Amino acid sequence: MDRVEIAEVLREIGVMLELRGENAFKVRAYSSGARALENLEEDLGVLIAEERLDQVSGIGKALAEKIVRLHETGELPLHRELKASLPAGLFEMLEVPGLGPKKIKAIYSELGITTLEELTAACTEGRVSALEGFGKKSEEKILSGIRNREAYAKRHLWWDAFQVAEPILAGLRGLPEVERAEHAGSLRRCLETVGDLDFIVASGDPRPVMDWFIGQEAVSEVTASGETKSSIRLQGGLQADLRVVPADQFAFALHHFTGSKDHNVKMRQRALSLGFSLSEWGLTAEEGKPARKEGGHSRNPKPGTPDDPKAIRSEAELFGFLGLEAIPPELREGLDEIEAAEAGELPRLLEESDLRGAFHNHTTASDGKHALKEMAQAAEDLGWDYIGIADHSKASFQANGLNEDRLARQLEEIREFNASGKSKVHVFAGVECDILPDGRMDLDDSILTELDYVVASVHSSFGKTEEEMTRRIIRAIEHPSVTMIGHLTGRLLLAREGYRVDYAKIIDAAAANNVILELNGHPRRLDMDWRYWKRAAARGVMTSINPDAHSVEGLRFVRTGVLVARKGWLTKDSVLNTRSAEEISRIFETKRGLRR
Ligand code: DGT
Ligand code: CA
Ligand code: CA
Ligand code: ZN
């Protein structure tokens, strides 16, 4: 196990000890040990080899032994035993907003409650508010938290679904009977959450393909098993459909089951208007109607598409046959993609390889798991030219946010790092500065103006009205030091609705003040939502695709950011972090110069 994974285990042990009501001193030993590991300057392997681990501040002898064991074996009996000693339902309670280990301990030990069902009943009967430290308000909050959790459990984050789907797709493609295989549905359209997985396979021999699919190790239930369609439920709750079709139907089936429904309806209407009927099986000339309507609008097929619809073998040929440019799956939401494809006006969408860095990333200075130099190295490994560091500001005390002094020191460190010539990657010095409840910045302007850039984000007082929130954020947009707005609505997909904002007003304010809106690519955020980017880009608002990374692994989340940007019709032009480091420096400087 590596340093970061071990820190995670220690943290879990701390939580479990707290759930068992162990003394606070012991609990703290584990959480501060985790923190010490995350902040480690030296290589863990070296510290262990030289038997110096217990000299690290925050790590005593007993803890050092456990860390060594985890490092070497990846296992710790204490961790396993603790887990076994606590009812599984308590861990589910940890996922309910507003419930921490301390409160769960009280509910568990004083009311004997071990499941969410029992907790719901106890809240409804007012037994929880009778406990010390709880009130009517917290009881209501727990109830709505549990209700949301149930509603949300039916869908899955795109990222999680993708991790499950990839090996299944690879498995299907590896079968000798399979000619072609793709995933379809909302996963392929890159919707932010996915209901179920859909796979389409071309094969002349479906049975062995079906057998493999329903026989996978991770299958917990087979809900349908037929000649052409099977459905399974996987461990973890995700369901998946497989459809196997003959090779000559593959393009049609793939298109149909990619959807969306609205896109399909419009495609069928278009086909009909040209004298064809389109279905998941194929495209056929309507009885009694000429394929090319005289006087009506003609089909105008794209060059290179077959004359006979039966010869269509790819989605591109299907679109081309109907006189359309090929529409990328991300755009198939039944908005105006078909009109744009007909006019030859589909955007040339952003690609992940267009990115040369990203600007919203945390380090161990606040709540990140890796140090500045590790983040820079990871950026280099990704082939980036630069990385921006934006740690939290002091109002985010729960995230160990930086005050003016600490931020000034980090700025110094970054300047030295760049000057050392050790890194190929240029580090831009920024901050994720809290937008205070009244719209003021959390940090003094004397430090903000020294930085390369400022990401301004809301992390508190979510309960405001739409009007108040909009005014609060626009005040931040109008602040001369603010470069970009972070995660506009604060939503946490499948966990917490975003606060309401007036998108149109905010987009106009961003345009007027030359402020960038972040597209936060963290799979739980994907904020601002893809539905608003077309409008923003049309108004000339730039975006920055940011991973909101809290570790080197977190940098990967630019990928989800790019997919959502594509879904929002964004091209390279309107994305800040497709520019070179020199251009970025110029953009930041101009901005600061203009405003001083
Ligand atoms: P999901 O699974 O809820 O995240 O969303 P999808 O889009 O993957 O929906 P799903 O799995 O029910 O069906 C996959 C696609 O199949 C869907 O996007 C469009 C197509 N489809 C399914 N049912 C219908 C239907 O009743 N009418 C039309 N036009 N298309 C359908
Ligand atoms: Ca689906
Ligand atoms: Ca489905
Ligand atoms: Zn944030």
Q: Which ligand has its closest atom nearest to the C-alpha of 396?
A: 4
C-beta of residue 158 within 8 angstroms of C-beta of residue 523: yes
Please give the pLDDT value at position 39. 86
What is the whole-number distance in angstroms between the Cα of residue 329 and the centre of ligand 1?
A: 13
Calculate mean pLDDT across residues 300-327: 95
Q: Which ligand has its closest atom nearest to the C-alpha of 265?
A: 1
Q: Which ligand has its closest atom nearest to the C-alpha of 229?
A: 3
Q: What is the DSSP letter of 240?
A: E
Choose the residue to mutate in 261, 278, 333, 338 for probing ligand 1, maximizing ligand atoms within 8 Å of C-beta.
261
What is the whole-number distance in angstroms between the Cα of residue 205 and the centre of ligand 1?
A: 25
C-beta of residue 426 within 8 angstroms of C-beta of residue 445: no
Q: Tell me which of 209-218, 231-240, 564-573 is least confident.
A: 231-240
Confidence tier at 295 by pLDDT (50, 70, 90): very low
Query: What is the value of pTM for the model shown?
Result: 0.80
In the chain, domain spans:
3-152, 156-245, 256-343, 352-595
Does residue 145 line the site of ligand 1, with CB under 6 A? Answer: no
User: The tokens 């990115």 sit on which residue?
Assistant: 355
Q: Which uninterrupted H or E stretch holds 255?
A: helix 250-258
pLDDT above 80: residue 307: yes
Please give the pLDDT value at position 290. 55
The CATH code for residues 156-245 is 3.30.460.10
The architecture that CATH gives domain 352-595 is Alpha-Beta Barrel (3.20)
Please give the pLDDT value at position 289. 61
Please give the pLDDT value at position 203. 98
Calculate mean pLDDT across residues 235-248: 94
pLDDT above 50: residue 294: no
pLDDT above 80: residue 17: yes
Calculate mean pLDDT across residues 12-26: 93
User: The tokens 């896109």 sit on which residue?
Assistant: 263
Buried b (16+ CB within 10 A) or exposed e, 273-308: ebbbebeeebbeeeeeeeeeeeeeeebebbeebeee
Calculate mean pLDDT across residues 261-281: 96
Q: What is the sign of the dihedral through the CA atoms of 315, 316, 317 and 318? A: positive
Please give the pLDDT value at position 148. 77
Residue nearest to atom 10 of ligand 1 (CA): 185
pLDDT above 70: residue 291: no
The architecture that CATH gives domain 3-152 is Orthogonal Bundle (1.10)
What is the whole-number distance in angstroms between the Cα of residue 257 and the centre of ligand 1?
A: 6
What is the CA angle 181-187-190, rounded to 5? 125
What is the whole-number distance in angstroms between the Cα of residue 487 and the centre of ligand 2?
A: 27
Determine the topology of domain 256-343 in CATH. Beta Polymerase; domain 3 (3.30.210)
DSSP letters, 278-302, are E-SS-EEEPTTS-SS-SSS----PP
Does residue 185 line the site of ligand 1, with CB under 6 A? Answer: yes
Residue nearest to atom 23 of ligand 1 (CA): 261
Name the percent of the chain lying above pLDDT 90: 87
> Counting atoms of ligand 1 from 1, which one is nearest the CA of 187?
8
What is the whole-number distance in angstroms between the Cα of residue 357 and the centre of ligand 4?
A: 18
What is the whole-number distance in angstroms between the Cα of residue 553 and the centre of ligand 4?
A: 17
